[in-house]
Structure 1
Amino acid sequence: MSQTSPPAGRPGRYNRSFSGLIVSMVVLILAVLGFVLVRDLARSDPDMPVAEVDYVEAVRAGQDSGFPVVYPPTLPDGWVATSARFPLGPNPEWTLGILVDGDDFVGVKVVRGDSGAVLDRVLGDPYEVDGGIDVPNDDPLLSGDWSAASEGQDEALYTQVEVPVPTAAGEDGETADPGAAPQTDTAVVVVYGTIGEDRLVDFATTLTSEALPAR
C-alpha cells in the first residue's frame, strides 16, 4: 500500500498539533506566573510610615482657651499619636487619636453633650452599655463615676464632667456681665478603642487635665 506524503512546504497534521500543544503550554505557564505575580503584589502591603503628631501643642491650645483637655503625659512604647484636634468655635471639642502597636487604636474625646450622642459617634448604633467600671484616676476632673460600653470589638469608657461655657461678647467686644459667676455645662470624657477593656482602664488611669508648664 502506498502512503501519500503531504504537499511540499506543508507540515503534517501530527507535527502541527504537537507544536500547537507546546505553544499552548508555554502561554498557559506564562499566564499562571502572571496571575501569581499580580496576586502577590496585591497582597503585599507596602511599609507606609506613620505620621506622628505633637499632641502636646494641641493640648496647649485647648488649655489656653479654658477648655478642660484630657491627655496622657506620655505614651507607652509602640503607641503613636496620629491625630490631635481642638477646633475653635462655640462648641469646642478635644480629640486625640493613637495607633497602638501598628494594628489597634485608642481615642480620647472631651465633648459637650450627653453620653448617648457621644457613644453613637465613637461606637456606632447599636451599642451596649455594660454598666459601671472602676477607673482609679486621682485627677479631680476624672475622679468621678465611670461607665463602660461596647459594640463588637470596639469598647469605650466614659464619665461626665463639668466644663465652662464660653461667654458671648457684646457688639463692643465686652461681656454682658463681667462680674457674673462663670457658667458650666455637662461634657463627656470618653476613652475608646480596640485594645480591650483592661488595657483601656490602665490607659484611662494615666490621663490628666493638669495644666502644662509655661513655655
Structure 2
Amino acid sequence: MSQTSPPAGRPGRYNRSFSGLVVSMVVLVLAVVAFVVVRDFVRSDPDMPVVEVDYVEAVRAGQEAGFPVVYPPSLPDGWVATSALFPLGPNPEWTLGILVDGDDFVGVKVVRGDSGAVLDRVLGDPYDVDGSIDVPNDDPLLSGDWSAASEGKDEALYTQAEVAVAGPEGETAAPGAEPQTETAVVVVYGTVGEDRLVDFARTLTSATLPAR
C-alpha cells in the first residue's frame, strides 16, 4: 500500500472565545504540572507514581475553542489517562496519553494537516504502512476504513475524518440542523497490539460534551 497524505486541514470555523482560551491555558498548565508518562521513562523506573489527569477538561477546552476533538467517553479497567494536552499556538493539536496495565502505552492525537508528519512523531522514521482495517464505530464520522502503520512494537491506526466541532462556548447545532464538521487527521497509537488499538478506536467519539 502506498503512503498518502491527506490535504492540509482547513482553519477552524469559530474564533476562540476568551473563556475558551482561559480554559485551554489552565488545562495546559495542569497537564504540564501533572506527571506525564513517557514510555521509555516508565519502563526504566517502574516504581515512579502514576498521576491520573482529568482528560475531560482538555476535551472541553478543545471543543470550546472550535477544535475537532476525538476522545474516549470512558477508559477500560487498568487504563489510566496520564496526559491530556490542547496547547495554544498557530498549529494546535489535541493529545491524550494513557498508561495501560502499568506498562504499555496508548495515545490519541487529532491534528489539522499531514498524517505523515504525525506518524513520524509517534512512530519514528522510517515506519511501515501495513494496509487498511475496518473500524466500525457508533460515531458515523469515525466509522470506516482506517490505515495501519508500525515501527517495531509501536503501532498506529489513522484516518482522515470529518470530525464534529462545537461552536464558541461549546455551542451545539440547532435541533434538526446538521452538525458542523472539519477535516482532521485522527491517530491512535501505542504498544498494546493492533487488535486492542482497533477495539479502542471503535469507542472514540467526537460528540460535544453537555454544557456545564
Kindly state the Cα deviation for residue 48 of structure 1 after the two structures are TM-superposed: 2.4
Q: Which has the higher contact order (CA 8 A, sep 6+)?
A: 2
1:122-161 paired onto structure 2 within 5 Å: 122-161=122-161
8 Å contact 2:69–2:94 — kept in the other structure?
Answer: yes
**Aligned counterpart, 1:52:** 52
In the superposition, relative to structure 1, how do residues 163 and 72 fare at CA in structure 2: closer, same or farther (>3 Å)? closer
2:77 maps to 1:80:
no
Kindly state the Cα deviation for residue 92 of structure 1 after the two structures are TM-superposed: 1.6
Query: How many equivalent pairs are there?
Result: 155
1:52-201 paired onto structure 2 within 5 Å: 52-162=52-162, 186-201=183-198
Which structure: larger Rg?
A: 1
Kindly state the Cα deviation for residue 156 of structure 1 after the two structures are TM-superposed: 0.2
Question: SS at 2:135's partner residue?
Answer: coil
Structure 2 segments unaligned to the other structure (5+ residues): 1-43, 166-179
**Aligned counterpart, 2:14:** none
**Aligned counterpart, 1:19:** none
Q: Which whole-Å deviations, capped at 9, do the CAs of 1:21-40 have from their partners, x for residues lacking one?
A: xxxxxxxxxxxxxxxxxxxx
Kindly state the Cα deviation for residue 117 of structure 1 after the two structures are TM-superposed: 1.1
Taking the aligned partners of 2:73 and 2:46, their CA distance within structure 1 comes to 32
Q: Which whole-Å deviations, capped at 9, do the CAs of 1:86-140 have from their partners, x for residues lacking one?
A: 0123322000000000100000000111111111111001100001101111313
Kindly state the Cα deviation for residue 143 of structure 1 after the two structures are TM-superposed: 2.0
8 Å contact 1:66–1:164 — kept in the other structure?
Answer: no
Bigger Cα displacement from structure 2, 104-113 vs 143-152: 143-152
The one-letter code matched in structure 1 to 2:210 is: P
In the superposition, relative to structure 1, how do residues 78 and 46 fare at CA in structure 2: closer, same or farther (>3 Å)? closer
Identity of aligned residues (%): 90
- Across the aligned residues of Structure 1 and Structure 2, the Cα RMSD in angstroms comes to 2.2
The one-letter code matched in structure 2 to 1:62 is: G
In the superposition, relative to structure 1, how do residues 133 and 164 fare at CA in structure 2: closer, same or farther (>3 Å)? closer
8 Å contact 2:136–2:144 — kept in the other structure?
Answer: no
Question: SS at 1:140's partner residue?
Answer: coil
Structure 1 segments unaligned to the other structure (5+ residues): 1-43, 166-182
Taking the aligned partners of 1:151 and 1:115, their CA distance within structure 2 comes to 15
**Aligned counterpart, 2:208:** 211
Kindly state the Cα deviation for residue 67 of structure 1 after the two structures are TM-superposed: 0.8
Question: SS at 1:134's partner residue?
Answer: strand
Q: TM-score normalised to the size of structure 1?
A: 0.67
Q: TM-score normalised to the size of structure 2?
A: 0.68
Question: SS at 2:186's partner residue?
Answer: strand
